[in-house]
Chains A and B, each alone.
Chain A
Amino acid sequence: MTVALDIDDVRVTLGHNEVLKGVSLSVQPGEFVTLLGASGSGKSTLLNVIAGLQKIDSGHVLFDGENVERRSPQKRNVGFVFQSYALFPHMTVGENVSFPLLAARRPAKERAAVARETLELVQLGGMADREPASLSGGQRQRVALARAIAANPRVLLLDEPMAALDKQLREHMQVEIKSIQRRVGITTIAVTHDQTEALTMSDRVAIMHDGCFVQMAAPTELYRHPATEYVAKFLGEANLVPLYDGRILPVDGEEQKTGTAVIRPEDLEVLPLDAPAMAWSFDGIVRVVSFQGDRFRIEMDTSDGRVLVCTLPSTADVSLLVPGLPARLACTDPERVHIIFPPEILAQPLAVGSAV
């Protein structure tokens, strides 16, 4: 029963605050799209709009080409996993999971069967008679997920699904949710402010900022080719180097920059100081070398007053890097350097196509 989901120029104003400034989004059946953004970016509002919990000022929400923006939440047939899970404390796990079927007035036998099957799917078989209060955080989240998909909804919506879990469990559940979603094959929209979560789970990630989409693309594309400096900084660490005509601009330079080079810390390597200079090499004084278990993290003050960050595998030889002494960092593969052009040069609309 999974559907294509279309959001067309949706606007929402809360009080005097324009929360969504005309956002559009096209999701294919079975696709997993994550809305990623800082708090206040409008991502949760958009999720509520899809569920029908938030009224819209203008625009359209379409399930398989059919307008649903005037339908109440009851009539949209969506599954919603809340941040707090919102499990009914007075019901057993099984009663929670089969609640959507109770609401649809299905017979008790069918409800029990569906609860059992769905709980098997989330690996909680045999837990139907437990009380939610007796479950661990991860188990509760599975119950919430089972309840959201029990009645074969058309769209699955996840609001910060991992917020209440500790780090280790979170990574485990990200993979788990993704695999359940793939097995059920349901169109899924998730909201998060955690970039790792977004990159791990999604087919596509939509970055939201201030009520608009900034970029929407597959995780690798988004990380490798960010459209703006905001995206580059939001997703992982990035060294942003201003350019003028393909040249690296000095920090106190007069010229207007005509682009920004994005160099990821893991794409920089250490070169000997007497090696011949190359296009993307930077000389400077090492500031900090810190060992982080799986890698080294190096900060360097460049000679023109910038700070560069470089990460090296934990097996790397860092004997050349001594805080306070000069060093040379370089990106030896120019392919790895991504260049962002400012909008007036880019002068073309944001690509919104599916990019799987």
Chain B
Amino acid sequence: MKNPLAGVIGGFRYPVVVLSVAIGLLLFVPFAVLVATSVTSGQLILFPPQGFSLKWYVSVLGDRAWTDPFWLSMGVSLAATAIAVLLGTSGALAVHRIVRPGVGRLVRTLFILPIALPPVAYAVGLHRINILFEGLNKSLVVLVLGEAIIAMPYVFVLVSSAMNRVDPALRLAASTMGASWPMILRRVELPIVLPTVITGAIFAFSVVFDEVVLSVFLTPPGTQTFPLAMLSAAREAFSPNLTAASTMVSLAALALLGIVTVVGNRRARGRRPVRKVSST
């Protein structure tokens, strides 16, 4: 069993392997420590943990100081994701229809711009708006909209690259067959890019759920998003509540990723084999 790469990398093989392992550890060790400290039976975040118990999990699940921020974050993330998916997808479909290349490039850049914007500057700007309009700062409107704008480029980039892989003749073919543009959108383009839209939505959701800068500035007084709750928990007391909560959201994220992969694979597999021929 000869590895063809071995010859290419040659003497550099060992440093490359060592570096890869180091990077892997950098990702894995903090997570391992996180999980380990969360199952301690002691009162402090300590490594190695003292004894084993799930009491901190029970404590987090029963503590409104943790569950309220969680549900707030879920709500904000879902709403912002919905808006981001709507804007990003329709933007990608629209940009694909722009004929003049100069205009297309400009609009494309505008849609990607929010990624490049420093979140702090953006948050300060939104904060001013919140102050200007009384009552707005008690609602989640500006927070949701701000998070949606930050998440939108992820959806836009994914969906437009999927559109680039679609044969441009499909649209022409559909139009010669009498399909109007709304029908082409609904029956041809959207179904083809739908898996990518779902991937984009998951990306957007995780970006928003994790986002802390906008939350700091825009969360209404007396409430907290989940990342904010973690931040303040870390500042106030070093209780294993923090690591238990972190472990739970991490596992939830992994589970979500797993479901998406399994569903995606099943879809891809379902496409190939010949389905039973039924009489239509």
Across the interface, do A73 and B192 meet the contact criterion of CB distance under 8 Å? Answer: no
B224-280 interface (Cβ within 8 A of A): 271-278, 280
- Which residue of chain B has its CB nearest to the CB of A48? B172
A78 CA to B170 CA in the complex, in Å? 15
Whole-angstrom distance between the Cβ of B164 and the nearest chain A Cβ: 15
Using Cβ atoms and an 8 Å threshold, which residues of chain B touch A129?
275-278, 280
Residues of A within 8 A of B3 (CB): none
Question: Cα distance A249–B171 when bound, in Å?
Answer: 56
- Give every chain A residue within 8 A of B174 (Cβ-Cβ): 88, 99, 103
| CB atoms of B191 and A53 under 8 A apart | no
Check if A341 is an interface residue, CB within 8 A of chain B. Answer: no
The size bracket of the interface on A is 35 or more
Judge whether B192 and A90 touch: CB under 8 Å. yes
- Given A103-B178, A112-B280, A116-B280, decide whether A86 and B173 contact each other with a Cβ distance below 8 A: yes
What CA separation (Å) do A89 and B183 show in the bound complex? 16
Residue of A nearest to B190 (CB): A90
A130-138, A166-174, A197-205 - the one binding chain B: A130-138
List A contacts of B23 (CB < 8 A). Answer: none
Question: Contact at B192–A78, with CB atoms within 8 Å?
Answer: no
Which residues of the other chain, B, contact A100 by a CB distance below 8 angstroms? 177-178
Are B178 and A74 interface neighbours, CB within 8 A?
Answer: yes
Asked whether any CB of chain A lies closer than 8 Å to the CB of B105, the reply is: no
Q: Is B175 within 8 A of A74, CB to CB?
A: yes
Min CB–CB distance A152 → chain B (angstroms):
12
| Max chain A Cβ within 10 angstroms of own Cβ: one of B167, B173, B180, B188 | B173
Q: In this assembly, does A126 line the interface, its C-beta being within 8 Å of a C-beta of chain B? A: yes
B274 and A103 contacting across the interface, CB-CB below 8 Å: no
Chain A residues with CB under 8 A of B275:
129-131
Q: For chain B, residues 6 to 39, give those with C-beta under 8 angstroms from any C-beta of chain A.
A: none
Cβ contacts under 8 Å, A80 to chain B: 172-173, 176
Cα of A103 to Cα of B271 in the assembled complex, Å:
24
B179 near A103 with CB under 8 A, answer yes
Q: Does any Cβ of B come within 8 Å of A77's Cβ?
A: yes
Asked if A115 CB lies within 8 Å of chain B CBs, one says yes
Contact with A along B180-205 (1 / 0, CB 8 A): 10010001100110000000000000
A126 touches B178 (CB 8 A): no
4 shortest interchain CB distances as A-B pairs: A86-B169, A86-B173, A103-B178, A100-B177
> Can you name 13 extra interface pairs (CB under 8 A) apart from A86-B167, A129-B276?
A74-B178, A75-B178, A80-B173, A90-B191, A99-B187, A100-B177, A128-B277, A129-B278, A130-B275, A131-B275, A133-B271, A134-B272, A134-B274
